[in-house]
Amino acid sequence: MRSGVMASALDLYGFEVYLIEGGCKHYRRWVRDQFEQQYQLVILGGMTGSGKTRILQQLQNLNEHG
């Protein structure tokens, strides 16, 4: 309820406000759960001019982005 009151006050002053469903505790639990997930990470490295940007653009065209 306190968050709702504060959100209403900020909204009156022109701030774009979002309320988190379930509240702060629910959000903290969700964030903690994200750290327990397994993610496939790929590191793209190389010297300047080696084509990293071109590869990233091609991946974006394939909707393979993170």
pLDDT score, position 37: 92
What is the reported pLDDT for 66?
53
Residue 3: its pLDDT value, please? 79
Which one, of 8, 29, 28, lies nearest residue 17 by Cα?
8
CA–CA distance, 4 with 10 (Å, rounded to integer): 10
Q: What is the pLDDT of residues 2-61, one digit of tens each?
A: 778 898 999 999 999 988 888 888 999 999 999 999 988 889 999 999 999 999 999 999
Provide the CB-side half-sphere exposure for 38 (13 A, CA): 0
- The number of angstroms, rounded, from the C-alpha of 8 to the middle of its chain's C-alpha atoms is 24
Band of residue 64 on the pLDDT scale cut at 50, 70, 90: confident
Tell me how long the chain is: 66
Give pTM, 2 decimals: 0.45
